[in-house]
Amino acid sequence: MSAQNSAIAPLPVAVTGTVQAALGTLAFSFTFPAMAWALQGFGPWTLTGLRGVLAGLLAAACLAAAGARLPPRSAWPGLAAVVAGCVVGFPLLSTFALQQASTAHSAVVIGLLPPATAAVAARRAGTRLPRAFWLAAFVGALAVLAFTVRQSHGAGLATADLYLFVGLLICAVGYAEGGRLARTLPGWQVIAWSLVAALPVTAVTAALGLATEPVHWTWHGVTGLAYLGVVSQFLGFVVWYRGMAAIGVPRASQLQLAQPLLTICWAVLLLAEPLPALAVPTALAVVACIAVTQRTAGGR
């Protein structure tokens, strides 16, 4: 191979998949700050419905422009899991949580999402991951749990934490199923069809929310809603599912261990939030697990 041909050779699939999964993590790291902004203008039911409707209409336009065909029936159960976990369940529960807890606190708790996703994916595929992978994931999860209990001053889990834990479990199922489907469907179509399928639910949710909750059309509220609908709910998932399809759900999910630390940074820069004393050390401990899990989660 000539030097010229070598210079323009395509990047290995593992590299491009890792980059796409990392871009998805970066996009999702802004979700909680955007949600905090959006809650300045909208109630939780209104916000969950409107972000779903906005993303669903954008997804429908993209599917129509691409002339995409309906997914096969075999994909429908997986798409239903994405709808329940990623389009409706987690957005609503995390919105409830952010009404009671800070962005930084919520970001650290959601650090449990990567090992939860890896566990669901491994069980779904019937694969076994190395002990070192599970040990690193367990250490990260233990650090998050210790942080949560410490924040409650030993009183146990707060209501916001329960919302977040339930939300991350159903989100993990949606992530794992979406990553599996992205091996046979284009990654962007996985989330696009899920958003379109959820439109009746999100439209009713938005209508009920608008009828019962106050709305304030502030700049922060509208900006947060726009980011949640366009990026967090659609574009972020496009690169995220493509990355999971390329490098496997377990390995891609562990890249999300960096998300809590990134979200903490945005909480300080965008929201001027005071940080819990142990937020950064805990997030750094969780991020340290990435090196181990990335080296051991070689299977797809």
Please, what is the Cα angle at 33 between 242 and 31, to 5 degrees? Answer: 20
Residue 37 falls inside a structural domain: yes
pLDDT tens profile 152-171:
555 456 788 889 989 999 99
Q: Look at residues 79, 24, 7 and name the one whose alpha carbon lies nearest to residue 235.
A: 24
Is 15 part of any domain?
A: no
Residue 36 has pLDDT above 60, yes or no: yes
pLDDT, one tens digit per residue, over 185-219 is 888 899 999 999 999 999 999 999 999 999 999 99
Overall domain count for the chain: 1
pTM (predicted TM-score): 0.84
pLDDT of residue 151: 64
Q: What average pLDDT does the chain have?
A: 84
pLDDT tens string 117-143: 877 877 877 777 778 777 877 787 777
**Contact predicate 280/110, CB 8 Å:** no
Residue 226: is its pLDDT beyond 90? yes
Q: Which pLDDT value is given to residue 155?
A: 47
Q: Which two tokens stand for residue 228?
A: 């949640």
Q: Is residue 114 one of the residues assigned to a domain?
A: yes
Phi and psi dihedrals of 122, rounded to 5? -65, -40
Tell me, yes or no, whether 16 lies in a domain. Answer: no
- Write the pLDDT tens digit of every residue in 251-281: 777 777 778 878 888 988 899 887 777 777 7
Report the distance separating Cα 241 and Cα 175, nearest Å.
Answer: 8
For 276, the domain range is 30-296
Q: How many CB atoms lie within 10 A of CB 20?
A: 23
Asked if the structure places residue 55 within a domain, the reply is yes
Is 24 inside any structural domain? Answer: no
300 pLDDT exceeds 50?
no
15 vs 241, more confident: 241
Percent of the chain topping pLDDT 70: 88
Q: Compute CA distances 280 → 14, 152, 163, 199, 274, whole Å.
A: 30, 17, 22, 38, 12
Q: How far apart are CA 44 and CA 99, in angstroms?
A: 8
1 occurs within a structural domain: no
- Which of 33-42, 63-72, 151-160, 198-207 is least confident? 151-160
Q: Show the tokens assigned to 145.
A: 């749990």
